[in-house]
């Protein structure tokens, strides 16, 4: 499985589901970061070339810093994300879902030299495909994961297609559930909307798309739309 979930149970007994990223989005993120680093080196190298031998020495120092400290600093100081990972909505976390620290970030990035063997990240790719959580060797040693950075979307407003008063009195929790349906159902597939609407058929008196529309109307009524 290229993309799967890893379940982590917190000390409080809460189950966290971490959406683990497979090798394809990780490779794209790495390519973006490589292009950024090469661009920086090209621009700065052009300037340093004017300094002769001194510039060449500074360039070698910069080359080391860019290729080795770039991912470490970004992952620790920028919520586990390099620019490439941010562009692909990925981030590095500890195996328990906590933010990655200095030791873990240094370890996983230094071990890239092993993952690159014998060429073209072959060892890292084989490890990702063999591991159930798509970890390369550096992640296994450092105890880290690369996960999809799922962002909460703002709830969409219920479509104003009708205003229908509920046929029965609703408890506060029931009212909140109807309003939540009106706000979030536009983000769901039609089949899922109908599945949820069918559960409250005794309230709406209708099934399928008709029940969905009636629930929207009740959500509008509860939100004060007249």
How far is it, in rounded angstroms, from Cα 74 to Cα 80? 7
What is the pLDDT at residue 15? 67
Q: 90-94 and 144-148 as β-strands: parallel, antiparallel, unpaired?
A: antiparallel
Instruction: Report DSSP state, residue 199.
Output: H
Integer Cα distance of 195 and 216 in angstroms? 14
| Residue 108: predicted pLDDT | 95
Tens-place pLDDT, residues 158-192: 555 677 888 788 888 888 888 888 888 887 888 88
The SS3 call for residue 64 is helix
- pLDDT recorded at residue 107: 95
Tell me what pLDDT residue 153 has. Answer: 53
Query: Distance of alpha carbon 4 from its chain centroid, rounded?
Result: 12
User: Domain map of the chain by residue range?
Assistant: 4-148, 153-226
Q: How many CB atoms lie within 10 A of CB 20?
A: 21
* Whether the predicted model's global pTM rises above the 0.75 cut: no
pLDDT in tens, 101-149: 999 999 999 999 999 998 888 999 999 889 888 899 999 999 999 999 8
State how far the Cα of 178 lies from the Cα of 146, in Å rounded to an integer.
36
3-class secondary-structure state, position 112: helix
Work out the pLDDT band at 28, boundaries 50, 70, 90.
very high
Q: What is the pLDDT of residue 203?
A: 85
Say what percent of the chain tops pLDDT 90: 36
For residue 17, give the 3-state DSSP assignment: strand
**CB count, 10 Å around CB of 204?**
22
């Amino acid at each position: 499985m290229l993309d799967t979930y890893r379940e982590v149970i917190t000390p409080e007994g809460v189950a966290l589901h971490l959406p683990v990223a497979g090798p394809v989005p990780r490779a794209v993120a790495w390519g973006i970061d490589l292009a950024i680093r090469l661009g920086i080196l090209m621009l700065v190298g052009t300037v340093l070339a004017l300094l002769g031998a001194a510039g060449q020495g500074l360039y070698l120092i910069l080359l080391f810093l860019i290729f080795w400290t770039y991912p470490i600093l970004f992952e620790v100081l920028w919520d586990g994300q390099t620019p490439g990972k941010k562009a692909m909505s990925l981030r590095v976390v500890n195996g328990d879902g906590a933010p990655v620290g200095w030791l873990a970030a240094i370890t996983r990035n230094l071990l890239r030299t092993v993952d690159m063997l014998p060429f073209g990240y072959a060892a890292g790719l084989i490890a990702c495909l063999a591991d159930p959580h798509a970890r390369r060797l550096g992640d296994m040693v450092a105890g880290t994961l690369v996960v999809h950075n799922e962002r909460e979307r703002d709830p969409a407003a219920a479509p104003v297609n009708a205003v229908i008063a509920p046929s029965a009195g609703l408890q506060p929790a029931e009212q909140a559930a109807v309003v939540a349906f009106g706000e979030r159902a536009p983000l769901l597939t039609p089949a899922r909307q109908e599945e949820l609407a069918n559960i409250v058929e005794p309230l709406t008196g209708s099934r399928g798309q008709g029940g969905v529309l009636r629930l929207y109307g009740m959500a509008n009524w509860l939100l004060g739309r007249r």
